Amino acid sequence: MGNLGSILSLGLACFLPTSLSAEVIPGTDLSMDFHAGHVVGAGRNINMIRVPVTDINTGQTTLWDATFKFSFIPSQGFVFEEISSASPSQPGSIADIVPGLYRTQQGKCLLLEGPTLLNGSRSLYTIRGVQEAGCGTQDSFSAQIISGVANGHPDIGERDIVASLTDNWIYGFMADRASNSSGSTLQPFFQNHLIGIRQSGEQLILGRFSDGGADFKDPVQTLILTKLVQ
């Protein structure tokens, strides 16, 4: 980690930036911008996801994930303890997915929650049916999604189809089947089905990659969900 560790240590002094622009790290040809990354807190850790580190000579930018661990001393307050991890961001990182309340074209609402940082720079999301104002009846749809490529995915990594799955989606599985409502676009989503999500502006695209007991490399059904302002 070497040079990056030094960069992140120096950058920690700017952890609460006073400006919204990238800052050059003294003594290097690199700039970084925590503001452009994604911050997730968990216990004593502050997780910085997809922080851009840019070579100011070439303009080439690399995205990095890092986890900073803190202690607390009553007489001093929060004390930085260590950089517990730092690695290049994986495709399908959490910055590509926007948690929140989404509605299907039929008026059912699904709540996308997360992220929770896992090992290997992957992050966990859950998505489930909820009852909110402006939504139809609550659906029992429940699934979990983990960011990153399909290969090595902790939940679906053993499925035969994994080697054929593209990086255009982040994948997971149905934890509970959708309600058996006749005519509902969610009805074909069954427990343990392989699913994927991807973001397109304010819309979340939900894909079903299973039909019966078989998995497929391309979705056999896609739904477009629109984010609601809360």
pLDDT for 192 beyond 70: yes
What pLDDT sits at residue 177? Answer: 85
pLDDT for 2 beyond 90: no
Q: Classify residue 210 as exposed, middle or buried by CB count within 10 Å of its CB (0-12, 13-18, 19+).
A: buried
3-12 average pLDDT score: 41
pLDDT for 123 beyond 80: yes
pLDDT for 131 beyond 90: no
Quick one: pLDDT band at residue 41, thresholds 50, 70, 90?
low
More confident residue, 62 or 214: 214
49-55 average pLDDT score: 81
More confident residue, 195 or 6: 195
Span 146-189, pLDDT tens digits: 998 898 899 998 999 999 999 889 999 999 888 766 668 898 99
- Mean pLDDT score of the chain: 81
Quick one: pLDDT band at residue 34, thresholds 50, 70, 90?
confident
Span 62-121, pLDDT tens digits: 878 777 888 899 998 888 888 766 777 665 554 578 899 999 988 899 999 988 888 767
What pLDDT sits at residue 155? Answer: 92
pLDDT for 206 beyond 90: yes
More confident residue, 188 or 17: 188
Nearest-angstrom CA–CA distance, 150 and 23: 34
What pLDDT sits at residue 89? Answer: 66
